[in-house]
Amino acid sequence: MRAYAFPAYDTPVFKAKTAAVIGGGNVAMDSVRTAKRLGAERAVIVYRRSRTEMPARNEEIHHAEEEGIEFQLLTTPLRYFGDEYGRVRAMECQKMGLGEPDASGRRRPVPIEGSEYTMEVDLVVCAIGQSPNPLIPQTTPGLKMGKWGNIEVDWATMATSLPGVYAGGDIIRGGATVILAMGDARIAAAQIDKDLRR
């Protein structure tokens, strides 16, 4: 959206003083380090379990620590406070303990009553998993969707249930990788070429 060309384009990258990133995965590490590099004085990971349970790769966590990222572990956000412009100004957090392992095998975070505190923030990024944008399924009758809101395709051709419509990448796989998206696109392109020659 040409954020780099602000003010010619009305889509600036917002530069935070204190950025909080919720989550403990690779996307969280990426986001918090990006916020820091964009000039945030404080860039903070807020994660509800401990470092041991963090799903991010070890080197990602290590590099974030090296880069001066603050970690508020065993902490979960409860609510956000906004200002009159609808911009976030603060976040209420609660400290967590660890209970028995849950279905994922990781110890379950348990809220500690009375441990609530407020943290001033002017940017919050929620990096707690991704789900597909529901706009396309809602506006495209006949497009077959999976139960997680992903578009269903024939994996050999990337063709969807609608003739002439192909899909690939995260919208069919859930959050995945660039290389898988590119591979899907190659399969789809080859099939489109074949179909157009029929």
Ligand X SMILES: Cc1cc2nc3c(=O)[nH]c(=O)nc-3n(C[C@H](O)[C@H](O)[C@H](O)COP(=O)(O)OP(=O)(O)OC[C@H]3O[C@@H](n4cnc5c(N)ncnc54)[C@H](O)[C@@H]3O)c2cc1C
**Interface contacts to ligand X, rule CB under 6 A:** 27, 30-31, 133, 135-136, 169-171, 176-179, 181
Choice between 31 and 160, CB closer to ligand X: 31
Least Å from the CB of residue 34 to ligand X: 8
How far is the C-alpha of 2 from the C-alpha of 43, rounded, in Å? Answer: 24
Choice between 96 and 167, CB closer to ligand X: 167
Least Å from the CB of residue 64 to ligand X: 13
Look-up of token digits 């063709």: 159
Amino acid identity of residue 77, one-letter, is: P
Choice between 30 and 65, CB closer to ligand X: 30
Task: Please spell the DSSP secondary structure of 149-168, one letter per residue.
Answer: SPBP-BTTTTB-SSTT-B--
Report the residue number whose CB is nearest to ligand X.
169
Helices and strands in the chain, H and E counts: 5, 8
Least Å from the CB of residue 197 to ligand X: 25
The four Cα atoms 187, 188, 193, 198 give a dihedral, to 10 degrees, of: 110
Least Å from the CB of residue 29 to ligand X: 9
Choice between 31 and 94, CB closer to ligand X: 31
Amino acid identity of residue 2, one-letter, is: R
Least Å from the CB of residue 70 to ligand X: 19
How far is the C-alpha of 176 from the C-alpha of 153, rounded, in Å? Answer: 16
Choice between 8 and 178, CB closer to ligand X: 178
List for the chain the helix, strand, coil content (%; round to 5).
Answer: 30, 25, 45
